[in-house]
Amino acid sequence: MQDRRQFLKSAALGAACLAAPEAALKRLKAQTAEARIEILLEEPIGRIAPEIYGHFVEHLGGVVYDGVWVGEKSKVPNTGGLRTELVEALRKVRPGAIRWPGGCFADQYDWKDGIGPREKRPRRTSFWAQAQEWTKTMHRGGAQTYEPNEFGAIEFARFCKLTGAQPYFAANVRSLPALEFARWVEYCNAPAGSVSLAEQRAADGERDPLNVRYWGVGNESWGCGGNFLAEDYASEFRRYTAWLPSYGDRLALIGSGPSSDNLEWTRRFFKKAAEGGVLGGMWGWGLHHYSWNASGGRTSDWVKGKRDALRFDAEQYYEILREASQLESLIDAHWGVMGECDPKHAVKLVVDEWGAWYAGGSEPFPEALLGQQNSMADAVLAGLSLDIFNRHAEKVAMANIAQLVNCLQSLFFAHEDRFCLTPTYHVFDMYAAHQGAQSVRTVFTAPAVRYTRNEKPATLAGLAGSASRSGKQLTLTVTNPSLDQAREAEIAIRGATAQSARATTLAASDVHAHNSFDAPREVEPKTEALNLRGGLVVHRFPPASATKLEIALG
Ligand code: AHR
């Protein structure tokens, strides 16, 4: 079968060589590019935690106020103050977990400001009021600068309940004492009627415990979370978490891990934590990795060095994807270092901030600090990253894209009564099929993408993806990063036979394509049934695309 198809392809190419002009020949070559995907059902990796499909909501710019929270008196349709359109769209993609209230904001936040009657809550200066990312054309002031605390623990817990997500709180380690952490846990989780804070919770509208299981112990403790040394943070971690009350299930405590490739932060924390007996009480270790390329890698200025969200050339496009694909080696490297002190790997990785981070200028509205447009390129980046997490399902217990709405690589834009889904949203929708399924080893063979990086040749994997199985349902997701080459791939399933298949593809004729309030449906996925060829699934992955194949197994 394979020989015959090879022959037909060669024959077609040969005929084209004789008759077709060069452009047509190039097109034909592009259409017949060779790729192969082998799915090894007998080689399970681990269960894909639904929490890998997690999100991040920080009190920053237009994320909480205007994005998630519009208030009960708003004309914008809302459910107890929460933007209904967003709640419904988010529920559809089954968010595993949502991290809140920050980010850097978390280490300046007093949880008590966000409880009690809303009209009596204090207004505070937001952590982000002074951020250097505010540009002259943006509007400061309002909730983005002076935090009104209308949205607190109860409002967040209700948001999680409505969307079906697990709440993941980040506690303040930089500027609140350890006792406050214990008190916040008590407020959230103590049984109804048991203690004063449970009474307070009932007065705030929630009689029953909120059952918050995931707790981050600070955020970026090497930076905005206190500028700690790794050893000092390990001691603080122990002080803040030893003897914490837990009601029912043990709390899942998550340490503030490294930024990208800071292996020393991981090594030094784990060494000290192991000595202090901290690791036994830890559930997860946070890893933050943003993809930003400083104008093609030529400058490292924090704010000015980043590129535009929509104006980018081929080099900048491939470079952002290369930076995202580093997640794979970062996961392996930190996992290896963690194993030096935790050989049984009781502590898992939590990639609780990831995504693309661009320069200012494409905010969806002027209050949206760190808001940026989201193109088809970002959809490829999202698919590529989620596939990496799936492929490391035994190591990665949670991941949270930054951030949910109006900020960095968001799933939504929402402002006043306007709302739209970004291409990244569609990837989360497509990839949700992996949640809870068994990740299986998958081997991709495809010609590499070749491009120029700083005037030197560089390459990127031609096709990448992940596969998972749930009963008779096999899900394969694939990204094709190439800007101009479609890849036709044979998909071989070892250990079962395909009975039927369908493909959902997210692609656009221009990788810069994006959705906006005025044109919300420029980038949308399309689904089609596939013909099987003698038990093989053969599919053509368009350039710069993310695809989901749903394969029914015999
Ligand atoms: O996501 C924006 C910021 O990036 C977060 O507040 C911080 O943790 C990180 O540096």
Q: What is the pLDDT of residue 454?
A: 87
Q: Does residue 102 have its Cβ closer than 6 Å to ligand 1?
A: yes
Total number of residues shown for the chain: 554
Q: Residue with the nearest Cα to atom 9 of ligand 1?
A: 103
Topology agreement, domain 2-46+439-553 and domain 49-436: no
Cα–Cα dist 400/282, whole Å:
19
* CATH H-level, domain 49-436: superfamily: Glycosidases (3.20.20.80)
- Residue 45: CB atoms within 10 A of its CB come to 20
Q: Residue with the nearest Cα to atom 4 of ligand 1?
A: 103
Q: What is the pLDDT of residue 4?
A: 32
Which active-site residues does the annotation give?
220, 353
Alpha helices for 371-485 (secondary structure H): 376-391, 423-431
pTM comes to 0.93
> Where along the chain do its domains lie?
2-46+439-553, 49-436
Residue 311's φ and ψ, nearest 5 degrees, are -95, 100
Residue 329's φ and ψ, nearest 5 degrees, are -70, -30
Q: What is the pLDDT of residue 30?
A: 44
Largest separation between any pair of C-alpha atoms in the chain: 86
Q: Does residue 103 have its Cβ closer than 6 Å to ligand 1?
A: yes
Query: How far is CA 394 from its chain centroid?
Result: 17
Cα–Cα dist 100/158, whole Å:
13
Cα–Cα dist 527/97, whole Å:
27
Distance from the alpha carbon of residue 536 to the mean position of ligand 1, in angstroms? 45
Q: Which residues contact 349 (CB under 8 A, 6 or more apart)?
A: 257, 284, 285, 287, 331, 334, 335, 338, 392, 395, 396, 397
Q: Does residue 58 have its Cβ closer than 6 Å to ligand 1?
A: yes
Q: What is the pLDDT of residue 533?
A: 81
Q: What is the pLDDT of residue 13?
A: 33
pLDDT digits (tens, 9 = 90+) for 389-408: 999 999 999 999 999 999 99
Distance from the alpha carbon of residue 295 to the mean position of ligand 1, in angstroms? 21
Can you give 13-52 as a three-state secondary structure string?
HHHHHHHCCHHHHHHHHHHCCEEEEEEEEEEEEEECCHHH
Cα–Cα dist 67/12, whole Å:
53
Instruction: Tell me which residues of the chain have a pLDDT lower than 70.
Output: 1-33, 294-304
- Residue 18: CB atoms within 10 A of its CB come to 6
Q: Which one of 64, 99, 351, 353 would you pick to mutate in the ligand 1 pocket, going by the greatest count of ligand atoms within 8 A of its CB? A: 353
Cα-based distances in Å from 383 to 75, 122, 146, 262, 338 = 35, 41, 36, 25, 27
Cα–Cα dist 217/1, whole Å:
57
Q: Residue with the nearest Cα to atom 8 of ligand 1?
A: 103
Please, is 34 exposed, middle or buried when counting C-beta atoms within 10 Å of its C-beta (0-12, 13-18, 19+)? Answer: middle
Cα–Cα dist 292/357, whole Å:
5
The CATH architecture of the domain made up of 2-46+439-553 is Sandwich (2.60)
Written as six digits, the tokens of 224 are 């905005």
Residue type for 244, please? L
